[in-house]
Amino acid sequence: MTKPNFSRDGFTWLAYLSLAFYSYFLNVLGPVTPFLKSELGLSYTVSSLHFSAFAVGMLLVGLGGHMLIERIGRRRSLWVGAFGMSLSVLLLLLGSIPFVTIAASFLMGLVGSLILAIIPAALAERHGELRSVAISEANVISSLLSTAAPLMVGWFAATIGGWRLGLALAASIPILLYFVFGKNTFPSSATAAGETSNPRQPLPLLFWVYWLAIVLAVSVEFCMISWSADYAENVFGLQKANAAQTVSLFLAAMIIGRMAGSRLVQYFSTIKLVNAFILLAGLGFLFFWKSSEIAQPGPITIVLGLGGLFVTGLGVASLYPLNLSLALGSAGINTVQASARAALASGTAILTLPLLLGRLADAFGIESAYGVVMPLLLALLLVLVVARMIRPTYKPV
């Protein structure tokens, strides 16, 4: 099935780059936390509160951000989110006590996540049935910036300006975006029939089924990002530095997978692609998880395991953007509310699942605990079956 040609206007590029700006700071907290820990004399527990605070801010936007967006408008909300994120980053850089730096992280999640609530909805309305292409491409660019975040921090840490310069320069991006794209027209939330979205109108059951799919997809993604290095060290026997680099292998696969997904979705239905990517991720994960049982410990085990990690990344890459597209497509005219609730799904997964896997690892060991990923993938497959069952006249999106 070939879909109409996809075109990118000025607003589309503004949306792509704004989401990438948000993703950069979502992923930069991890690399800068060791610097904050050392400079402020923090414990591991207090250090981890920076990322938790960001996730809590994201959750709050997921619960009520759509009402603010509908009240003040999408254009104003986007720039509030972008410039608010920048000011929050500056507060983080200037903070000299943990209360200030943790509060700054919370504000980054709270104000900055307005971007996450606006962009998918606006892209869905601008591109209609091609929303899967737009959302996938936006996540490709976001993945590139996310991967660049730790590299930028490491590079600037060795310069005169230090790690703070890498964040300060990135915080100035909204100024450039405003001058280049600030006059572009935002898509209206009105439908062709003249209807307007209602932030208080309940979302349909089908949306909430896809919402659960987003939770599961993001859970798998962040379990792999958060714990694959530890797994490679303890199960494959890699040195800590080499094990840490295995995360880059997964992230590189994510970029390739999302690029492929953004192209494939122009020719195949979204739901079929999601099912295929789940199966690919499951196959890759089995090789990653069980490589020590497939071959004797040694180089072959490492090759099989890391190869499995790469294939897992290829499969996991498009699960979030494609499930997000399905969720928005099921929301009718309330795309902003749906987009905000999708941010809630992401925040829930990011805040809880890596922590759950960590606790399981403490109780049963990292190799056994990592098995939780397979039930998550199977549950995702089951959720999509349920979605198809409750949609009476189902048509591939």
| CB neighbour list of residue 180: distance below 8 Å, 6 or more residues apart | none
227 or 269, greater pLDDT:
269
Q: How many CA atoms lie within 13 A of 115 on its CB side?
A: 28
Residues 15, 82, single domain; the answer is yes
Residue 14 lies in a domain: yes
Work out the mean pLDDT of the chain and round it to a whole number: 84
**Domain of residue 386, residue span:** 200-397
**Which residue, 119, 151, 186, sits at the end of a domain?**
186
CB of 48 closer than 8 Å to CB of 34: no
d(CA 32, CA 196): 43
Cα Rg, the chain, nearest whole Å: 21
CATH number for the domain spanning 207: value is: 1.20.1250.20
Within a 10 A sphere around the Cβ of 108, how many other Cβ atoms?
Answer: 28
Kindly report the three-state secondary structure assignment for every residue of 140-178: HHHHHHHHHHHHHHHHHHCCCCCHHHHHHHHHCHHHHHH
Q: Assess whether 300 and 386 both reside in one domain.
A: yes
Q: How many Å apart are CA 33 and CA 48, to the nearest integer?
A: 8
Residue 193: is its pLDDT beyond 50? Answer: no
Number of separate domains in the chain: 2
| Side-chain half-sphere CA neighbours of 66 within 13 A | 25
223 and 109, same structural domain? no
Lowest mean pLDDT among 128-137, 221-230, 292-301, 341-350: 292-301
234: CB partners within 8 A, 6+ apart: 366, 367
Is residue 195 situated within a structural domain?
A: no
Considering all CA atoms of the chain, what is the largest pairwise distance in Å, rounded to the nearest integer? 65
When pLDDT is averaged across residues 238-253 and rounded to a whole number, the result is 77
Locate 176 and state its tokens: 């450039």
Cα(387)–Cα(10) distance, integer angstroms:
35
Shared domain for 126 and 156, answered yes or no, is yes
Same domain, yes or no: 61 and 168: yes
User: Is there a single domain that holds both residue 310 and residue 173?
Assistant: no
154 and 15 share a domain? yes
Higher pLDDT, residue 71 or 191: 71
- Token look-up 């993938």 returns 377
Please give the pLDDT value at position 85.
96
Structure tokens at 8: 């990118």
Sign of CA dihedral 57, 59, 64, 70: positive
What Å distances lie between residue 24 and 19, 30, 35, CA to CA? 9, 11, 17
Domain membership flag for residue 304: yes
Give residue-wise pLDDT tens across range 111-149.
999 998 889 888 888 887 788 888 888 888 988 888 787
**52 and 133 inside one domain:** yes
Statement to judge: residues 132 and 217 lie in one domain: no
Domain end call among 142, 159, 186: 186
Mean pLDDT across the stretch 104-111? 94
The reported pLDDT for the residue numbered 295 is 57
95: which 2 tokens?
A: 């903070």
Residues of the chain above pLDDT 90, percent = 29
Residue range 322-333, pLDDT digits in tens? 998 898 888 877
**Are 236 and 105 found together in one domain?**
no
Look at the block and give the residue holding tokens 């075109």: 7
**301 and 265 in a common domain:** yes
List the structure tokens of 79.
Answer: 């720039």
Domain termination residue (choose one: 186, 208, 241): 186
> C-alpha distances in angstroms, 121 versus 15, 168, 174, 188?
10, 29, 20, 10
Distances (CA, A) of 48 to 30, 203, 224: 9, 34, 18
Tokens of 137: 């491409």
Residue 26 has pLDDT above 50, yes or no: yes
Integer Cα distance of 124 and 119 in angstroms: 8
Greater model confidence, 169 or 354: 169
Same domain, 135 and 223: no
